[in-house]
Structure 1
Amino acid sequence: MIDVKTPLTLVLILALSFEAAKGIPNTNLTQVLCNGAQYFKDDPFAINLAYVLAELVSTTPSRHGYDYHNISPYPNAFAYGHACCLQQQQHYYYFSNHTRL
């Protein structure tokens, strides 16, 4: 007779191991590279930077390869950004404050 418990146990272990591999992504910020300048709330660059940061955080986890580049849509003070998530680490790079006069 075939022992039904052994295959059933193996199937259960495999099913649980795949479920354990799923998890909540680690969205903690590990590194920020900026120019160190201060910007006020209504400053055009601060508005653009806030837009870019929000897009990077919301879009990067759903992108294939977890790699996303972005530029602000407003031409008065461009902000650029790059975010990538590699395995358990996430890296966000925000740079540039080109202002168009």
Structure 2
Amino acid sequence: MKKILLIAAASTVLSMGSVQANPYDALGCAGCHGAGGKSSIPTYPSLNGQQAAYTVKQLKDFQSGARKDATMGAMAGLAAGQEQAIADYLAAQ
């Protein structure tokens, strides 16, 4: 299931050509973390209302491997360069 979500998210990004104003939705983050970052799946944390600096750090830690999770490592890689926009969006939710 995780591989399917990852492939779907990557396909979305590639078909869009570039990430638009809301990279959270464009990258498919809502598939696990819910619309607006409010997860309805207990396995995946809600991200809405998080402080932006915290979210940026977590994404960068997944990218660098300092924080380990196969799915999030791949998804955070897709978010490279969009960390602050994602964090700002989630902080405002």
TM over 0.5: no
| Higher share in helix | 2
Q: What TM bracket, shorter-length normalisation? A: under 0.3
TM-score, normalised by the number of residues in structure 2: 0.27
| Higher share in strand | 1
Q: Which structure would you say has the larger Rg? A: 1
